[in-house]
Structure 1
Amino acid sequence: MIDFSTPTLRLRRRLRHSRDRLATLLISAGGIGVIAAVLAIGVFLALEAAPLFSPARVDSETSPLPPGKKQADRVAWMHIGSPGQATLLDERGVVWRGTSGQAFIADASLADALFQGQTITSTAQTASRLALGLDQGDVILVPRDDEARPVWSQANRHTLFSGQPVAELALQGDDNGHWRLAGRSEAGNVAALIGTRDDARTRRHELPQDASHLALGGEGRLVLAEGAQLSVWSLAPSVPEILGQVRGVSEGRRITALTYLVGGETLLVGDSGGGIRRWLNARGETMPLLATEPYRGMGDAPIVSLLAFPERRLALAMDTEGRLGLYQAVAGRRWHGQVPDGPSQAVDFSADGRVIWWLGDTNLTRFIIGDEHAEVSWKSLWTPVHYEGHDEALHRWQVAASGVESEPRFGLAPLAWGTLKAAVWALVFAIPLALGAAAHSAVYMSVRLRTRIKPALELMEALPGVVIGFIAGLVLAPYVERHLAGSLALVVILPLGMLLGGALWARLPHGLRARLPLSWAGIWLIPWLALLIWLAMQSAPGLETLLFGGDLRTWLETRLGLDYASRNAMIVGLAMGFAVIPTIYALAEDALSGVPRSLSEGAQALGATRWQALWRVLLPAASPGIFSAVMIGAGRAVGETMIVLMATGNTALMSWSPFEGLRSAAANLAIELPEAAVGSTHYRLLFLSALLLFVFTFCVNTFAEVVRMRLKRRYRHLGAGK
């Protein structure tokens, strides 16, 4: 046998083999790299969103009271400064100052000059004032400086009760220097003081009602509790007036603690059975307070204390058995633990509400609150929540809070609904047109016309989404708003007119039909289409006058309760459907063109019409590719950003109406992510919405591929495309 292999040929074969292996490795590495990159994106999004659902963590550090402080006198008030400096005020009015780990120094001059032998029986405070109730019925109001330290030289004394110890105080103020103070005596009498910054005009009001507990909220709302009943008074007018009464706890229980959270709109009520319920201020005339679902309790022991945080909608609850619970207004109970050193003599919060100092019998405990995202829970993201300022539970997304007095609304349901609503309306518009165009160009259209039409339609995919959104928002939306009746008439007249056109064409004489071949219908139907559009627009005013009283928008609002917004889901469907059509068309047309012509010709040879061959043979054979085309189009519709951003009002509404706006998750990311503070709850919720989009797209594509493979195996015997 002659060996024609030469050294040169062997070298070439080795080089070719090496290049093949290198190309294989590079292609494999590229594919693995793409998979790894996609997985890395998912992992990154998951890591950024994971802290939202981390359980609350409360760390404590306990240290004994420094020497020098006498234990015989209980502490009535405490303030811990930022450098660790502590100021204690005992019940006799003696001020103790010191630093952590050092001896406290007493100052009795204030007790002699200001308190004059009276004992402090109750306290209340805001960021700008400290109120001290005395055993003879007086109240001392002390301004506080920028570091929350009392300015004792500017203290003022007011008479709240005559000779009765002040058992409880509630203080509330605003940025204009106006303040309101409500107090309860040991006998249950209730009185209120209303004053200004300089205390020049202070009004006293005695309420004709006894109470065992009280709380003062925003706009001068005073809530009094007696037994199981809550009475709501308004201190805003010149003379206090009662707004109404509600039963605050269930049968067989009594109210044992009250507090308003920051903002003065959310009231927490603790009862003798260990229950805690959230009430909201109501603005209607039927009921002054609205009840929400009770929180999960800590046990059956009565709640004795509810301490509201200064800058967060959190409260610390304590019961008679020494259990502590951390509660958030929306999310409910976040943590529970045990009192470190008996009931507190005094409690102080840091300015940001993330540190609590608890002064027990012998120790000072520092609680560090590790719950950055307390207002978020999986339930609150997807179920209706009763937010402040609303009369019912709603799905809301509104993070533009103007401070601690505005409650953020973190509900992802409106964003998910807006995403699906926009995608559905886009597919409703795109699928019939895209699949109809694909079937016509693949089966009926002449080759000469197809070679021009198909590239033109595929080229539409290169049109930027921002351009489509710009045209939709500034041109299409105003035009549809001005000609709403005509636009809706097109939806009815165009399909019926095209069916009528087909029926008329089928009844034309054979010679005339030969001059209007079906393969060129895309050209000679254009005048017919223009005529239908003209007829729809011309007949719209008459139809609007005849059927809708001359104003379709008013009829929709009064009869159907549908509000029309200029930029709405219908506009998004038209614009985004226009962007999705090229994708669905190109893939579906390729799938239909890939079906062997022998299948269609064989069906027609057996007596089937071209329509029957298309419906019974070609479409089933091409169904895997058509299904993939629709799923890919749906994926683009779900992830589309700029069109939704520019063609809707970006209102996070949950409405079925096509005439109202929406906000999709993708558009919301584009709007809010640049302004979100890194690491904040808002920031991580945006990453969570991105993760949900990622997972949704991944699942849809996986499902589409599974279905496509099953359909491919099912119709493989028909000779469908590979």
Structure 2
Amino acid sequence: MPELDLESPQILRYRKRRAFKDKLAQASIGLGGVSVIVAITLIFFYLLYEVLPLFGGAEIHEVSTYDVAQVESGETLYLAMEEQAEIATRVTDQGKIVFFNTENGDVITTETLPAAPGATVTSLGNASSASRVLAAGLSDGTAIVFKHSYKVTYPNDERLITPFIEYPVGQEPLRLAPGIPLKSISVRNTESALFLAGVSQQDQIYGAYYQKDENFMTGEISLEEADLEMPNVSGHIENVLVDPTLSWMFVLSDQRKLSVYDIRDKDAPQLNGSVNLTSDKNSVTDIQFLLGGASLLVGDSAGQVSQWFMVRDNENKYRVEKVRDFQPVSAATLVIEPEERRKGFMVVDAAGKLSIYYSTANRMVLSESMASTPVSMMAIAPRANRILFEMENGKVSFWNVDNEHPEISWSALWQEIWYEGYEEPDYVWQSSAATNDFEPKYSLSPLAFGTLKAAFYAMLIATPLAICGALYTAYFMAPSLRRKVKPAIELMEALPTVILGFLAGLFFAPFMESNLPGVFVVLMLMPIAILIFGFVWVNLPQKIRHMIPEGWDPLLLIPLVLFIGWFSFEISPFVEQLLFAGDMRNWLTNEVGIDFDQRNALVVGAAMGFAVIPTIFSITEDAIFSVPKHLSYGSLALGATQWQTMVRVILPTASPGIFSALMIGMGRAVGETMIVLMATGNTPIMDINIFEGMRTLSANIAVEMPESEVGSSHFRILFLAAFVLFIFTFFVNTAAEFVRQRLRSKYSVI
């Protein structure tokens, strides 16, 4: 017999090739694993890179300081800037309107209000910063409504901003008080009406209400005075404010008392209630409308700033209520100035410190000392990126502001917030609306809740079906039948989820709504019918049972399942008529108090459960089938039944794989997008009700990311939603791996 030479050149070459292949495979697998970790890490840091700017603070720095422009024109009553913050407007008590350069104070042009000779401006009211409509209360009791506007042209490809004054209702002064100077005035200019309210030195309120009539040919607007009755308010009146809807008038008197009047009936105002805005020791130093005119910002002599607005109670009655207190400033508030396009505002106190707030986030974004000289007037650019201060020493200071995302805070993202127009605090996601006065609402709580709700109902439906099916397929089913059933179920996973969502939204949701009793009849009858069939089958004579090959008897359930489904939906109208007065949906809503939406969590659970079942089934079936046969043979040899062997031997041994299957299935359900996008109402609400819809984090990203402005708060919050999903998946997978390893070590000794 020839000797085997293990050191021959041919064998040595073979060993070298095999060693090379082993090292190549080892390096490739290692590189692939490291690449996965690097890719996940890069995703983590990229999401973090997009999210971190949300939580940055504001920054501010001074650009220039100069003397008040054309100081001889009188005392400043109003200060504002145009869109580009290149030109500022100063209105004085002499009726002068001075336009000047914001960086150096150079006067661009000056205009004069068409007041009567000798009349001076005693008060000035601002309809809103965005409208730029003002009302000047004159010493003769009249008022002039005007608007500062800006025309932008590009001669020689260079931007040129030309300021000018418009008179929306004409240059003729409007009679408000009979020859009595007005110490404060309020104006509201809507498309259909003009409302003026002023307070005289004698603490008497005067008003004028005009209906507008526009000439469609010329565009000219004529005013027709309508009946208006102003209330008699006792005490020393400081200010009168009217909301943009011309429904409520707020009268501040005796330094702290706010009286609210319902002026929807203009000739019969009704006192709605009164409230003290501060304690008896303090007094109100400034009161302003927040953007939109629904909220009042109140600052007092103690440095406290608070927000108030009208709240409707259960009896459909309104009351003014303090919604929140902000972090106080260091001294008495001097000036409160709201932003033009956000629900933010700025406060200057007596110590010369500027504080920047955002209302609903209840967040002080910045607090910084500006100057030792008290500030008498402040203006914020429309984009809130520039601030103009006029000091009592006759100087003007121009500042740059970097404050991109003030609306974001932990409370705004995850806690209940009391928004304007809401009866109580709530979790709300509403990122856009049709009006500029709208406040974006960025609560992630309803989205996270919707994600967990959709995953819960999907897993509730998929888990028992998938695991029980895998148990039977791997342990009881005939091998020849198993080879057909398993690939068929795994093939379900290849079905695109957009198709499942399409079918669920357009077919299954309306079908379920029309046959709701039938759905519950199926859920009740199906398990009972299967148990009865199984009991009858095992008690049949062996001659009959042996007609079906062992392990193939599950096929007998197919006609049973089809019959029970058909029978349940056939009797659905009779059940609905007998138990629910012919309409189960109305019965749920009216009798039980459960709201019902056509596209709801039950539809999502069924559709997404169908998508998750193949994943859980396949991994679970492999885990059970991989249990060493000698364990089951030994258990059966010792006298255990097949069921006892399954429960006490097979399941504990396969439990790590089954747990992994559940976690992977849950991850699939949490990250699912198209099914929940198409099969739910896509409404971000927090309701566990199975008949209500939801909106998930992934669906929200898919819907709103294409519409978001790059770099905006909305854009970055959508990345934050993706970051939350990433972190949630990471911790769930980490916990799952920990549990799986514990299960493996516990049952590895079996």
Normalised to the residue count of structure 2, the TM-score between the two structures is: 0.88
Greater mean deviation of Cα atoms: 133-142 or 102-111: 102-111
**Structure 1: distance between partners of 2:594 and 2:303:** 46
Q: 3-state DSSP class of the match of 1:278?
A: strand
Partner of 1:245: 273
Q: 3-state DSSP class of the match of 1:212?
A: strand
Distance change in 2, residues 1:389/1:78 (3 Å): closer
| Aligned partner (choices 125, 143, 165) of residue 151 of structure 1 | 165
**Structure 1: distance between partners of 2:279 and 2:378:** 32
Structure 1 position 514, deviation (Å): 3.4
Matched, 1:288 2:319: yes
**Structure 2: distance between partners of 1:326 and 1:88:** 23
Greater mean deviation of Cα atoms: 473-482 or 357-366: 357-366
**Structure 1: distance between partners of 2:717 and 2:537:** 57
CA contact (8 A) 2:337 2:380 kept: no
Partner of 1:132: 136
Matched, 1:188 2:203: yes
Paired residues for 1:567-582 under 5 Å: 567-582=599-614
Matched, 1:24 2:39: no
Partner of 2:224: 201
Partner of 1:329: 359
**Structure 1: distance between partners of 2:329 and 2:414:** 25
Structure 1 position 716, deviation (Å): 0.9
Describe the superposition over 1:468-500 as per-residue Cα deviations: whole angstroms up to 9, x where unpaired.
111111111111111110011111111222222
Partner of 1:662: 694
Distance change in 2, residues 1:600/1:179 (3 Å): same
Matched, 1:493 2:525: yes
**Structure 1: distance between partners of 2:93 and 2:610:** 76
CA contact (8 A) 1:62 1:363 kept: no
Describe the superposition over 1:275-330 as per-residue Cα deviations: whole angstroms up to 9, x where unpaired.
2222223456422334323222224x443432222222122223444443222220
Partner of 2:419: 387
Greater mean deviation of Cα atoms: 467-476 or 160-169: 160-169
Paired residues for 1:88-237 under 5 Å: 88-96=90-98, 98-99=100-101, 104=106, 110=112, 114=115, 116-125=117-126, 126=128, 127-147=131-151, 149-151=163-165, 155-174=171-190, 176=191, 178-195=193-210, 196=212, 198=221, 200-202=223-225, 205-210=229-234, 211-220=237-246, 221-227=248-254, 228-237=256-265
**Structure 1: distance between partners of 2:698 and 2:607:** 16
Structure 1 position 430, deviation (Å): 0.4
Percent identity, aligned pairs only, is: 34
Structure 2 unaligned blocks of 5 or more: 152-161, 213-219
Partner of 2:41: 39
Q: 3-state DSSP class of the match of 1:293?
A: strand
Structure 1 unaligned blocks of 5 or more: none
Structure 1 position 215, deviation (Å): 2.4
**Structure 2: distance between partners of 1:217 and 1:699:** 49
**Structure 1: distance between partners of 2:394 and 2:570:** 88
Matched, 1:297 2:328: yes
CA contact (8 A) 1:92 1:117 kept: no
Partner of 1:596: 628
**Structure 2: distance between partners of 1:578 and 1:321:** 66
Greater mean deviation of Cα atoms: 461-470 or 90-99: 90-99
Matched, 1:469 2:501: yes
| Aligned partner (choices 233, 253, 264) of residue 293 of structure 2 | 264
Partner of 2:390: 359
Structure 1 position 45, deviation (Å): 1.1
Describe the superposition over 1:654-687 as per-residue Cα deviations: whole angstroms up to 9, x where unpaired.
1111111111111111111111111111111111
Distance change in 2, residues 1:540/1:103 (3 Å): closer
Describe the superposition over 1:588-642 as per-residue Cα deviations: whole angstroms up to 9, x where unpaired.
0000001111111211222211111101111000000000000000000000111
Distance change in 2, residues 1:230/1:513 (3 Å): farther
**Structure 1: distance between partners of 2:66 and 2:651:** 82
The one-letter amino acid paired with 1:189 is: Q
**Structure 1: distance between partners of 2:619 and 2:103:** 76
Structure 1 position 115, deviation (Å): 5.8
Say what the alpha-carbon RMSD is for the aligned residues.
2.8
**Structure 1: distance between partners of 2:87 and 2:632:** 90
**Structure 2: distance between partners of 1:123 and 1:272:** 23
Describe the superposition over 1:532-556 as per-residue Cα deviations: whole angstroms up to 9, x where unpaired.
2233234433333332223211211
Greater mean deviation of Cα atoms: 86-95 or 655-664: 86-95
CA contact (8 A) 1:340 1:365 kept: no
The one-letter amino acid paired with 1:482 is: S
Greater mean deviation of Cα atoms: 266-275 or 100-109: 100-109
Distance change in 2, residues 1:388/1:521 (3 Å): farther
Structure 1 position 102, deviation (Å): 6.1
The one-letter amino acid paired with 1:705 is: E
CA contact (8 A) 1:304 1:320 kept: yes
| Aligned partner (choices 662, 673, 682) of residue 650 of structure 1 | 682
CA contact (8 A) 2:146 2:165 kept: yes
**Structure 1: distance between partners of 2:99 and 2:561:** 89
Q: 3-state DSSP class of the match of 2:490?
A: helix
| Aligned partner (choices 546, 556, 562) of residue 524 of structure 1 | 556
The one-letter amino acid paired with 2:336 is: L
CA contact (8 A) 1:66 1:101 kept: no
Distance change in 2, residues 1:245/1:66 (3 Å): closer
Describe the superposition over 1:388-447 as per-residue Cα deviations: whole angstroms up to 9, x where unpaired.
222111111111221322222211111111111111100011000000000001111011
Q: 3-state DSSP class of the match of 1:567?
A: coil
Distance change in 2, residues 1:365/1:534 (3 Å): same
Distance change in 2, residues 1:613/1:5 (3 Å): closer
**Structure 2: distance between partners of 1:701 and 1:108:** 69
Counting matched residue pairs gives 714
Distance change in 2, residues 1:101/1:550 (3 Å): closer
**Structure 2: distance between partners of 1:223 and 1:590:** 72
The one-letter amino acid paired with 2:232 is: P
Greater mean deviation of Cα atoms: 102-111 or 361-370: 102-111
Describe the superposition over 1:324-347 as per-residue Cα deviations: whole angstroms up to 9, x where unpaired.
322222012322233436333433
Greater mean deviation of Cα atoms: 120-129 or 446-455: 120-129
CA contact (8 A) 1:142 1:150 kept: no
**Structure 1: distance between partners of 2:339 and 2:379:** 9
The one-letter amino acid paired with 1:645 is: L
